[in-house]
Each structure stands twice: as structure tokens, then as C-alpha cells.
Amino acid sequence: MIFDHQKTHSDQIWVSASKEIGIVESISQALTSRGFVENNSIPGCNHGFPNSYIKGEMKLVYRLVDSLYLDNPEVWAWKIPNAVITDNISLATVACQEISVLPEFWHIWHFDPVCINRPATKGYNCFMNRVSGDRSQMFYELIRNNILDQGYVSYNCFRPGDNRNRDDTTDYSKINYDRQYNEAEMYRYQIEHKVGHALIPYNTIGDASLEQLIIDSKISIIIETYTSDSHIVFSEKIFRALQLPRPWMLYCSPKSVSTLREYGFDVLDQYVDHSYDQITDHNTRLSTIVEKLKSFINRDYVESDYDMFNKAAQHNRTLLLEFEKAWPEKFNKILNELTKL
């Protein structure tokens, strides 16, 4: 039997996948119908469709729900008439033409969670599947602050490519855990790493869906897939929390929370001090989030708090539905921009 690092992560938001694939396919068809051909010199794909095209002397790359600028760093040096199509939010100047699918593209994440809306009992939740430096640091900070056992926490230490061979039954969790510790040079957490080694793969979330565990927690700690000084990328992680009636804190690129706020999302400022969002040093930003987390663990909510949480979640779901209604017009604008290229 193949060892499955992901087996305990059950969630409901992936109804988005078919919407995302449909958009990727539509953009690919639009590009080819306008004379673009696949650029094989830049490998990669979006759900099986090419992510790089050329048309004469012009190059175009697009990637959605992924870091375009980490996967294809050369685009930073591109200049007009070259172009990118992206849902990434640039925090630095991009020299080439940038065609953004935002904010309307975010409608793909709208979903109707099925949960029992009951009072929160657990201090917090923090779901971490794949291994990364940011996630290891969060794991170490939870150990250092003696709060690991007060939340629904997972750190499965899965790495893409694990158990790729059908006959491979190896549990790579501890191997990945130790490798990340050394690669990220996180020796300041030597004690915490040693403690955590005996716990990996760590998982206290059981068989419940992530959505229900968020409801059962006083606050969510979200670690986004990518963290960068140059751009912001959002995934299902933050949009799941935005649509559920509980507070959250987000570890992502600087200014990520303020970006969501500017686009109209209710980030529950009256409950969470999101000032950490402006901290540019990544280590400090993460440790500040953990420090703020401690004030929620023993907090008790009353009926008026839950009413406020429900209003915020409903507002955010409604906003995503508005983006969905506006998507056809947005897509037509994207097609018009492609025609001009």
C-alpha cells in the first residue's frame, strides 16, 4: 500500500477546479486563435495547456493560481511588447505588458461550505501539508511557545514527487523534515527541531473536513503557498477562511491583507490586529503572527461575536458572487487586449 501523506486533509472548496480549468482552456484557445503558438523553450503547463506562447518577436506567459514570477523568473526582465497574463499581484514594477485577471477571477473560489455552525472550542487551527521553510518555522514557533497541542494542527511534510513509484511505500516525512531544516538553515530552532522530529508527520485534525475544523477553532492561521517581496499570490487557503465565520491571520507576502481589504473583503479588523501585514521581514512577520495568536487561545466568544463573524463570511461570499457575474465582461476585456498584441 502506498504511503499517502495527504490522506488526512479533507476539504470542500475544490469545486473551484473545474472553473479554473475552464478559464485556462478558454485563454489557451483565445491565444491560439489569435496567432500565438506554444513556446517550447519555456517549459510548464496549466492543467495540461501550455503556459508560454510566442507570436513573431513577442513572448507571452500566463499562469493562474501559481507564482508566475517564481516559475518563470525571466519575465521580470521582459519589456514591452512582451506580455504576461496573471492573477499575481505585483509589488514591484513589471516592465512588460501585464494583463491581470483580477479581481473577477477570484470568483472560482466561491463555495457553499457544509458545516455545523457551533461555538468554537479549540484555540486555533493551522493546516500544513507540503514541507517548506515557512511551514517548518511555524511548526517550530508553535513548539517554542508551548501551544502546539492547543490547536488543530497538521504538518505532514509531504513533498511533490514522494511515492511517485507505485511500489514505493516509504514514509518520507522525517526525511523531508530534516532536509528542509538543513536547506533553510534554521539552526536557531535546534531544540524545537529535535522535539518535532519525534512528532512528524504531525496531525491532530482527524477525519473532519478543514472547513468544520475552522468552525470549531477560535482563529485560523493560514500560511499561503508563496511568500515574496515582489508579488502576492492567493490560493484556496485564504478564500476558504474568508467564507467561513471565524477570524484568521494570514502569513503571505507583505501587504496581502491590505490588498484583500482594498478589493472589498471583510478581514474582521475589529477582531484581529493585522498590523503584522506591513512587516517586511518574513521571519519577524511570522513570529509576530504567533505572538498575536496566543491572545485568542483562551478567548471566549459571545453571540454578538458569532453574528459579526457570520456577517463577514456572508459579505465575502456575496462579493465573490459579484465577481462571478462580472467575469464575462472581464474576460471580453482580456480578449480585446490579446487582439491588440
Q: Give the DSSP letter string of 216-276.
A: TBS-EEEE-S---SSEE---HHHHHHHTSSS-EEEESSTTHHHHHHHTT----TTT--GGG
Angle at 39 between CA 33 and CA 45, to 5 degrees: 85
- What's the rounded Cα separation, in Å, for the pair 40 and 267? 42
Higher pLDDT: 91 or 188? It is 188
Q: How high is the pLDDT of residue 92?
A: 80
pLDDT at residue 7, rounded to an integer: 54
User: Is residue 329 pLDDT above 50, yes or no?
Assistant: yes
pLDDT band for position 68 (cuts 50, 70, 90): confident
Average pLDDT, integer, range 14-34: 93
The CATH architecture assigned to 124-316 reads: 3-Layer(aba) Sandwich (3.40)
Q: Which sequence spans correspond to the domains of the chain? A: 15-109+321-340, 124-316
* Tens digit of each residue's pLDDT (9 = 90 or more) over 109-124: 999 999 999 999 999 9
Least confident of 93-97, 122-126, 280-284, 322-326: 93-97
More confident residue, 170 or 311: 311
Q: Which residues contact 27 (CB under 8 A, 6 or more apart)?
A: 62, 85, 334
Q: Is residue 328 predicted with pLDDT exceeding 50?
A: yes
Across the range 95-118, mean pLDDT stands at: 95
User: Higher model confidence: residue 201 or residue 93?
Assistant: 201
In the chain, the percentage of residues whose pLDDT exceeds 90 is 78
Mean pLDDT over 45-71 rounds to 88
pLDDT attached to residue 47: 83
Could you give the percent of the chain with pLDDT greater than 70?
Answer: 97
Contact 276, 258 (CB under 8 A): no
Q: So what's the pLDDT on residue 43?
A: 67
pLDDT value at residue 8: 58
Per-residue pLDDT at 2: 46
pLDDT above 80 (res 134): yes
User: Using one digit for the tens of pLDDT, what is the confidence trace for 210-268?
Assistant: 999 999 999 999 999 999 998 999 999 999 999 999 999 999 999 999 999 999 999 99
User: What is the pLDDT averaged over residues 28-38?
Assistant: 94
Tell me if the bond preceding 81 is cis, omega within 30° of 0. yes
Mean pLDDT of the chain: 93
Give the span between the Cα atoms of 341 and 331, in whole angstroms: 16
Interval 311-330 mean pLDDT: 98
Q: What are the angstrom distances between the C-alpha of 208 and each of 8, 241, 244, 294?
A: 8, 16, 15, 24
Does 5 have pLDDT greater than 60? no
How many helices (H) and strands (E) the chain has is answered by: 10, 14
Q: Which residue has the cell 521571519?
A: 283
pLDDT at 14: 87
CB 106 within 8 A of CB 239: yes
Angle, alpha carbons 49-102-286 (nearest 5°): 95
Supply the pLDDT for residue 203. 92
